[in-house]
Amino acid sequence: MLIINDSVNISWLGLSSLRINFRDKQIYIDPYKVSGGSADLILITHSHLRHLSVEDIKKLKKGNTIVCVPGDAGEIYDGGNIVVKPGVSFNLYSIPIQTTPAYNLSGKPYHPKSKKWVGYILDLDGTKIYHAGDTDDIPEMKKLKVDVAFLPISGRSVMTAKKAAEIANKFKPPIAVPIHWDNSPNSLQDASLFKKNYKGESKILKPDLSL
């Protein structure tokens, strides 16, 4: 668990899944294979199975849960309250939220820019938490001003650990956390490589599989 302050703590649940405790709110990003719990807010980055898990959304959803999904997710899950695309801002539970682009740069992209999939920035009482989604080291990242960045690093349809560190060194979050590495053949080696190459503070979290 990453404890930011008295109001904010964040657990990495494996792959790209996060649980954010903010005051009395439970926020999940890309929940996948969660053990249980309930969510006030669920944010989905894109429509691939391990990010848009209908089973996990149903497990976490209660009467007043808000679910944000990208536009094409309706083909898989039709219960989204809010449809998002890159570059929009909105408030939920008095939390300012921005969406950011998330896509692959070249070759035959597994995450095409045309899909308009997203990352998220949550402003939690002035602390900006960035979940990049599944993405390469795209140029839009260079302009980011965030306090904590969760970045995918496996090199399998997302950027490599070195590329992730290079782009993080350009927008310089005070804390950078590698994710999306636990299903990689190199696994912890990738996370360690990111930490070695990032010039700021980097935290390597263990997946909390109990949540």
Structural domains in the chain, CATH included, are 2-198 (3.60.15.10)
pLDDT for position 207: 85
pLDDT for position 186: 61
pLDDT for position 67: 95
Select from 116, 121, 125 the least CA-distant residue to 151. 121
Q: For 191, list phi and psi in degrees, rounded to 5.
A: -60, -40
- Spatial contact of 27 and 41, defined as CB atoms under 8 Å apart: yes
95: Cβ contacts below 8 Å, ≥ 6 apart: 22, 25, 27, 41, 122, 123, 124
Residue stretches of the chain with pLDDT short of 70: 107-108, 184-186, 209-211
Question: CA-CA distance, 154 to 138, in Å (whole number)?
Answer: 16
Question: CA-CA distance, 83 to 17, in Å (whole number)?
Answer: 19
Kindly list the distances between the CA atom of residue 185 and the CA atoms of 65, 132, 179, in Å, as whole numbers in the listed order: 36, 22, 14
pLDDT for position 32: 93
Find tokens 């993405």 and name the residue. Answer: 135
* CA-CA-CA-CA dihedral for 181, 206, 28, 92, to nearest 10: -100
pLDDT for position 157: 84
